[in-house]
A and B are shown apart, each in its own frame.
Chain A
Amino acid sequence: DAKTTQPPSMDCAEGRAANLPCNHSTISGNEYVYWYRQIHSQGPQYIIHGLKNNETNEMASLIITEDRKSSTLILPHATLRDTAVYYCIVRVLSGNQFYFGTGTSLTVIP
């Protein structure tokens, strides 16, 4: 399984863009990068996923480097409700398991 490395914590000013990095240097060619977040005392929530190309949806943007060894989740205008733990996950194809690491605890500051 490809492992991911994320900084344990980050702060971001409200209204500014939050850029959350993730390293996945051992990712295989057919493995996707997924991002989930977990707000305190709730179950994780899907945000976005991608394979090679950059992706954007109503929640966030995902930038994947050309060599696919790292990616960045971008929350374009962070709000206080975006305070959560953000998990970067590389999907294991067999069994459809999702391996969550310890994630990045993002705190949005007023």
Chain B
Amino acid sequence: GAGVSQSPSNKVTEKGKDVELRCDPISGHTALYWYRQSLGQGLEFLIYFQGNSAPDKSGLPSDRFSAERTGGSVSTLTIQRTQQEDSAVYLCASSPGTSYNEQFFGPGTRLTVL
């Protein structure tokens, strides 16, 4: 079946602009995660959605970052007033639920802020 998809695959933007990154999880998966991976670094947790529960936003680095998940499916990560330090690969993952052990990752969106 189809895996997790993310769009765009690459995004180049100018400092100060807003960007939106999209994640389509595997159909039926109730849990959705966003991570950020800077060059040569490990994954940094950003935000987590589970069903209709309030999202866990504890990993968002600043109030310029926000995310929503409409209808329990597609998620959008928005970065306002982008800075050069926001340049990274943004990864989305989904899983069937909180008690499920495996996360299924998408290919990521490479964001470059000039």
Interface residues of A (CB under 8 A from B): 32, 34, 42-46, 49, 87, 95-103
Contact = CB atoms under 8 A, between A and B. Distances in A.
Interface residues of B, number: 27
Contact of A32 (B4, B44, B101, B104): B101
Contact of B107 (A43, A46, A97): A43
Nearest to B45: A97
Q: Which 5 A-B pairs have the closest CB atoms?
A: A43-B105, A100-B43, A46-B102, A102-B42, A95-B56
Interface in B25-69: 31, 33, 35, 41-45, 48, 50, 56, 58-59
A98 B45 CA distance: 7
B101 A97 contact: no
Nearest to B93: A43
B107 to A, nearest CB: 6
A100 B101 contact: no
Contact of A103 (B4, B33, B42): B42
Contact of A34 (B41, B59, B101, B104): B101
A45 B105 contact: yes
B48 A97 contact: yes
Nearest to B48: A95
B106 A43 contact: yes
B91 interface: yes
Contact of A42 (B45, B48, B93, B107): B107
11 contacts: A43-B106, A43-B108, A44-B91, A87-B42, A96-B48, A96-B50, A96-B95, A96-B99, A97-B45, A97-B58, A100-B45
Contacts of B83: none
Contacts of A42: 105, 107
A34 B101 CA distance: 8
